[in-house]
């Protein structure tokens, strides 16, 4: 009864796929190509579903209120954790839960928005920024954000955010590092991040959520 509208290379949709897989939830995917046809997220049919014209969008047809639509990846993660609480994505301890949320929000709200597709497109198309300058922009904000995340991970003492299990934080971190690697960013300064990501990428929930594993990857 769950339908996820997304794009294979969207890091925000990637977060939600990870969370759904970690919880073992079945879901149907509907691709929304962010580049083809001027961006299918801007088409009237999709705008009717999600006026924000962004992915992901989760549609849950199995609620007492009937079909509900939830936009924004972190809102979706919170919804999944409340409606399908086992296994949890967030720690039970309030201090650790706040620490996880703080790092995840830093990735999703401070780092990612400066480097997402529509910002990079605006830099090129509207401001005439060269590819070299655009890539410098990307790397600057990426390293500014990741430096803080690297320090923040010290509280986990080389463990995952749920001890031996990944959850909310890793669902945000792994897609961001995927993007950084796409742009050939040097990540050697972030050993805690790389260690956490490597542990996650070995798990089926992350392998199955990876962009190249999605049915629309070749569209």
Q: What is the pLDDT of residues 128-182, one digit of tens each?
A: 999 888 888 889 999 999 999 999 999 999 999 999 999 999 999 999 999 999 8
**Residue 159: what pLDDT?**
96
Contact residues for 130 (Cβ-Cβ < 8 A; gap 6+) = none
219 pLDDT above the threshold of 80? no
**Residue 100: what pLDDT?**
98
Instruction: Return residue ranges of the chain for CATH 3.40.30.10.
Output: 2-87+206-213
% the chain with pLDDT above 90: 85
**Topology of domain 2-87+206-213, CATH:** Glutaredoxin (3.40.30)
**Topology of domain 94-203, CATH:** Glutathione S-transferase Yfyf (Class Pi); Chain A, domain 2 (1.20.1050)
Locate tokens 């620490």: which residue? 99
Is this prediction's pTM over 0.85? yes
16 pLDDT above the threshold of 90? yes
pLDDT tens, position by position, 178-213: 999 988 999 999 999 999 999 999 999 999 999 999
The mean pLDDT value for 60-81 works out to 96
How far is Cα 134 from Cα 138, in angstroms, rounded to an integer?
6
**Residue 218: what pLDDT?**
73
Please answer whether residues 171 and 89 qualify as being in contact, where contact means their C-beta atoms are separated by less than 8 angstroms: yes
52 pLDDT above the threshold of 80? yes
How far is Cα 33 from Cα 203, in angstroms, rounded to an integer?
27
Instruction: Return residue ranges of the chain for CATH 1.20.1050.10.
Output: 94-203
């Amino acid at each position: 009864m769950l339908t996820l509208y997304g794009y294979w290379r969207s890091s925000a949709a990637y977060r939600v796929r990870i969370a759904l897989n970690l919880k073992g939830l079945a879901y149907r995917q509907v691709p929304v190509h962010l580049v083809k046809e001027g961006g299918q997220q801007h088409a009237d049919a999709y705008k009717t579903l999600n006026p924000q014209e962004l992915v992901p969008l989760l549609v849950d047809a199995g609620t007492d209120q009937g079909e509900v639509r939830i936009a924004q990846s972190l809102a979706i993660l919170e919804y999944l954790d409340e409606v399908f609480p086992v296994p949890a994505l967030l720690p039970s301890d309030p201090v650790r839960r706040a620490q996880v949320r703080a790092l995840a929000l830093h990735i999703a709200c401070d780092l990612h928005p400066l480097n997402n597709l529509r910002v990079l497109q605006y830099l090129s198309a509207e401001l005439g920024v060269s590819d070299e300058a655009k890539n410098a922009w990307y790397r600057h904000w990426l390293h500014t954000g990741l430096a803080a995340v690297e320090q923040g991970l010290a509280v986990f003492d080389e463990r995952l955010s749920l001890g031996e299990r990944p959850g909310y934080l890793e669902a945000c971190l792994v897609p961001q590092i995927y993007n950084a690697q796409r742009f050939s960013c040097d990540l050697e300064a972030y050993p805690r991040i790389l260690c956490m990501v490597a542990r996650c990428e070995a798990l089926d929930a992350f392998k199955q959520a990876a962009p190249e594993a999605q049915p629309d990857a070749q569209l």
